[in-house]
Every structure is written in structure tokens, then in C-alpha cells.
Structure 1
């Protein structure tokens, strides 16, 4: 009898946990519908809309409404989810496609639960210029090496030198609700890496080819000498330079 009661409680607890998973797909669709109707989207965001990165044919924009009011963006039609990633119980990343009459756009969103509501911490919007988002085995190995180089430089405790090698001059960093631009600002944000005891490692979850010169990566970072737990989530937008080298154009982590 006690065993049956114990199993029932476990089943009940599992059901409660499952129900607690946020319906981010529906929230994203509500956001799309608000844009289509021309309604304000400010209520969907955690703080403000400074943590929006867009690389679309119209160029960067200061706010999401400005992005979709640009002349070249016609008729936002819908949203299709691709994959979601859990950082912890109150932070997620979702990836999906936005469809317009002209282009398909990749939309990555960092979500944060704030006082019981799920809000957008960041949006990354990229025009899909490649015929396929699949990464070849050769490219996969190349980015394994780039990731390994990033880790080696990070663990040398010289963030200024690290950022100079790994990031573009005008790179953007999002973290903890703050935006930093350019190598100097990003190096200052990573000043904690100067601690001689600091250690970090990266593990890829997935890569998407956005264009011939851009690849989007989501993975997990682990800090400390021992890799405990599932790690935290990071996002990198790689950009191919004229020299043929790949550097980081956008860096986001929780």
C-alpha cells in the first residue's frame, strides 16, 4: 500500500512538473500576431528592447517594430518552431523560423520568467540566405577547432587578448540584461576571466548555416575544474572574415 502511494505521488509530481513547462511557442505566436496587427510588443519584453540583434536585408534596427516596418519586409505570415533549449527552470532559448512573402528569417529568443510571466530577454533575427541550414562534416570539425581555440584563450586569463583574437571589432555581447559593443567593452565584461582559478569549457548543441559567411551556434558552457550539471546556455553568431578566419559577431549567454 505504501509503495503504491509512493508511486502515485511520484506520478502526480511528474505531472505537475510537466505542466510547469512554459508554452513558449504560443507566446511567440502571440508576439507574431501583435506585429501583424501593428500592436505594441513592449509587454513581451523583460526590460526594454535594447537586447535585439538583427541581421536582415534591411540592416540593423533599434526596435522590433522598426525592423518589421522596413519597406523590404513584406507581410509577416507566421512562425514555425525548430527547437528549444533549457538553461534552468526560469530561462530558455527557442529557435524557429519567421515567414514573410519575401524571405525566411531565423528567430532565436532568450526567455526569462519574471514574477510569474515569461518575457523575452533577447531576440536575434537573421535572414536565411543559405539554401540549407545543415552544416557539413568538414565545417563541423572546423567549428570544433574554433570552439577549442576560444576555450584555450579564455583559460589564459587575458580577456583583452582573447577578445582581440576571437571577436570582430564591432562585435556585440548580451548578458544579464546588458548590451556591450566592441572589443573593449566586451573584454571589460569578461574581466572575471583574469582570475587565475577561472576555468571554462564549451560544448556544442547545434549549428545552423545562415549564409556563406554566418553560422549560428547554441551550446553549453561549464565553469570550474569539474563539469557538474547540464551547464549554462550560450549563443554565438560566427562571421567569416575576408582573410578566411571565423570570428564572433554576436555572443549571448544567461
Structure 2
């Protein structure tokens, strides 16, 4: 191995590995990830002789409702997606039209960068739950969707069992607590948008009529998309440092071998 080859190895292997280790140590937790909200319990356990606590975050349960296309939908169709949920009704003359327009802006402006010309961001999904399901038939939801040019590929307007919808809003997403004013359980109405991650954990509440809050929601959607799922570890997870050490040791061994061969030839 000549000097140029050895230098090439140094440039292509050693320096990137060192840079990786530096960036990893400096930038850990630097991204402003949306915080978790409601938790169910805190588990205390012993790991390698140390007592650690693990928070079990509240997971919004499954649902079975009907969307604006007459399709039966549930969380099964939203696997690995970031979800934004809201509650509305089509007869609403006040906040619901404005709220829907703001969600439409989110749908139009957040795009996927994975495919050239992709029409929508397939990593996120919007769900608008009708709080007046007795009147909001599939026909009425479809009319509302057409009025605001809702793309059903990643936005469902859903209707169905009223108890199920109200349980989701009040008991599971805790919108009554966030509102701070109490909720009329006979008729629920709010402008809040709820952000959920891939694990159906609540990661944010945003006033859907506030442009600043909606702008922050757009950023947080992207942050959650970039967030690593702790349940899905890479084959090399936790092993990169070991690989770096092995590579450096290998290079050192090659350099030593070259040095010994040169001495032998002298």
C-alpha cells in the first residue's frame, strides 16, 4: 500500500467516522421535538443494577367509523402515520368553516419529499370527527369535503356512533381538560387540533383558528415525521461506535503492516 492509498483510506473512512461521533455527541436531543402529554402510568424497574422509571404514555384507542366516501375506517389504515384530529359538524356556521380552511392549508402545503411530483404527504393524515353524527350523514360529509376540496387520500371526515366519538374527544384526547372551561357532554365543540404520533400518543394541542399555532403545528408534524420510532431499531442501532473502533483498529493494523514491510525491504 502506497502513501496515496493510505491517505485515501484516512479521508474516506477515518474522518467521516470521527465527524459522526462528534455530531452525535453534540446534536443529541437538539431537535425541538413536541413533548408528550397524557400518561397512563409510570413503571419503576431495575436495569443493570440501577433503578429507572419508564413513563407509559396514553395511547388513543382504536375506532370504527365511516368516512366521506362511505368506507369503514379505523387506526388500522393509519399505521406509521402522524395524525392531526379535530372535531366539527357540517351545520356549524361559525368556527368550523374557518377551521377546515386552515386544515386544508396544512394539507396543501406539507408535501412529501420522497417522490417527485407527489401530490400529498403520505406520512401524515387528518381526521375530522363529526360531533353531530345524527345529522352528518355520508352524503353531508361528502358535500362538505367537496366544498373545501378535501383530498380523501390523507383526510377523512368521519361519522358514526356518537358515544364512540365523544369518548375519543372527552375521555381519550382529554379536550375538556385542555379547554379549561368544562365540556357540555351533550354537545362538544372546540377549535383545538390534536397532534398524535405514530404510536397514537398525544403530542400537542393547537388552536386551529390561530395562524401562529397552525404554523407551529406544521413544524411539529415534520418533526414527528423525522422522529425515530424507539420500537423500530436499525440493525446497526447502538453498534456504530463499535464499527468505528473496528475500522480504526483495522486501519492501524494495515499501517503497521506497511511499516514493517518497508523496514524489511530496507
Q: TM-score, normalised by structure 1?
A: 0.25
Which of 1 and 2 has greater Rg? 2
Q: TM-score, normalised by structure 2?
A: 0.24
Structure with bigger helix share is 2
Q: Which has the higher strand share?
A: 1
Per chain length, whose mean CA-contact separation is higher, i.e. which structure has more relative contact order (CA < 8 Å, sep 6+)? 2
